[in-house]
Amino acid sequence: MDKIKKLFIPENARVIVISDIHGELELFKQLLDKVDFDSGDYLIINGDLCEKGSNSDGVVRFVMELEAQYPNVHVTEGNCDTLVEDLVEENPELLRYLQTRQHSILNEWLDKIGFVIGEDTSVGEIKERLTCHFSKEINWLLQLPTAIEADDYIFVHAGLEDRVDWKETERLKAITFRSFLHHTHNAGEHVIVGHWPVVNYSSDISSHKPIIDEGKKMIAIDGGNIIKKTGQLNALIIDRLNKKDSIAYTYTDSFPQFEVLEDFHADAQLTGAISYPSYELVPIKAGQHFTLCEQVETINKLYVKNEYFYQGEDGSTYAKNDVSCAQISVEKGDIVSLIDDNCSGYDLIKKNGVIGWIGKGILASHDSSHKKSNSLLNK
């Protein structure tokens, strides 16, 4: 890769890393509030500002403003941010992409100037229109570095190849690497990535918390915001005190908050999670609320909520979605996010980034603005 930015981070600074905002401007602003972001902090936006969410243009403009206002804000490119390259290079496949994507920064821009793609519109014409109105944003996106190299950390959107010199990682690989944590690298420093939702790594627990692998010197932070129905926008917070960095995290999501009215003790038999792409199941023993199934790919035995699997046309059984198969214990007074209250006997909740089931009837609304019921399956 050619675009590598060197960065000096003072030893006593706080570093905040956020990736995969995907057009979710409000969640991003809430997250900056929640971490109490101020001008002394180093803020690294680790790629994928655009696409999938509804306000990519808003996120790009806001981050451009932040970067102009605060010298310690730094941004890397994600695979979704390189869409402007397809525009500038007049990639003919871009037309189909724009016609099939509900949310894209290029469609947002076309809407703003009132341009509708017609049958004989060419990519060249779209390029001409958009570069005329949005050259500042396009050029900003085009110049984003692929990686930021600090003394103790490398920030890159998706991953590094395991090479003697990590800088020889192909740029495309650096922004599209799948499941980086299952690989190794040779960079010597901690590599911080987004791109691959961390929940994909977990078979024992359905969790969107950042994963820190000290042995491999890897930190994965993508909370699956927008990509996963139960996802969240994570902020990794590195406090550099006394030369020993302490790492914490927090997050925002768009689920309503509820207060727990009485304790619930999880049934320890109900653990594990179904995550992409291991959706095929063999039911073993049906129950009133949960059915014991074998997950074909992993041969794990899991209790799957009855509403969350179906029989396909091929006669096989599949999970409808990523779903937790775990019950989690909660205590009176806990504040949790409600994800799905449309199932029998149990509600699906999130507590500290972990998804699980609790018995029905023990939640009281904590946020009066969200009283409608929630269902993951109907969204």
CB of 277 to Mn ion, least distance (A): 17
A 10 A CB-CB count for 258 gives 21
Residue 157 Cβ vs Mn ion, minimum distance, rounded to whole Å? 6
Residue 275: both structure tokens together: 């995550």
Sheet holding 346-351, edge to edge: 354-359, 346-351, 335-340, 257-260, 363-365
> With binding defined as CB under 5 A, does residue 200 bind Mn ion?
no
The four Cα atoms 99, 105, 111, 117 give a dihedral, to 10 degrees, of -30
Determine which residue in the list 46, 55, 76, 79 makes contact with Mn ion, applying CB under 5 A: 79
Shortest distance (Å) from residue 56 CB to Mn ion: 13
Nearer to Mn ion, 9 or 148 (CB): 148
Whole-angstrom Cα distance, residue 213 to residue 190? 9
Does 272 participate in binding Mn ion (rule CB under 5 A)? Answer: no
Instruction: Give me the least distance between CB of 192 and Mn ion, in Å please.
Output: 14
Which position's Cβ is nearest Mn ion?
Answer: 195
Q: Does 228 bind Mn ion (CB under 5 A)?
A: no
Long-range residue pairs from 10-13, CB within 8 A, at least 24 positions apart, any chain: 10/240, 11/240, 11/243, 12/240, 12/241, 13/40, 13/41, 13/42, 13/72, 13/240
225 contacts Mn ion (rule: CB under 5 A)? no
**Segment contacting Mn ion by CB under 5 A, of 34-42, 48-56, 127-135, 280-288:** 48-56
Residue 78 or 231 with smaller CB distance to Mn ion: 78
Q: By CB under 5 A, is residue 195 in contact with Mn ion?
A: yes
* In the complex, minimum distance from the CB of residue 228 to Mn ion, in angstroms, rounded to a whole number: 13
Q: Smaller CB distance to Mn ion: residue 79 or 252?
A: 79
* Nearer to Mn ion among residue 79 and residue 169 (C-beta): 79
In order of 192, 204, 209, 293, 315, the CA distances from 282 in angstroms are: 37, 18, 29, 5, 11
Cβ proximity to Mn ion: between 79 and 232 the closer is: 79
Q: Is 78 in the site for Mn ion (CB under 5 A)?
A: yes
Residue number, 185 or 195, with CB nearest to Mn ion = 195
Applying CB under 5 A, the residues found at the interface with Mn ion are: 48, 78-79, 195
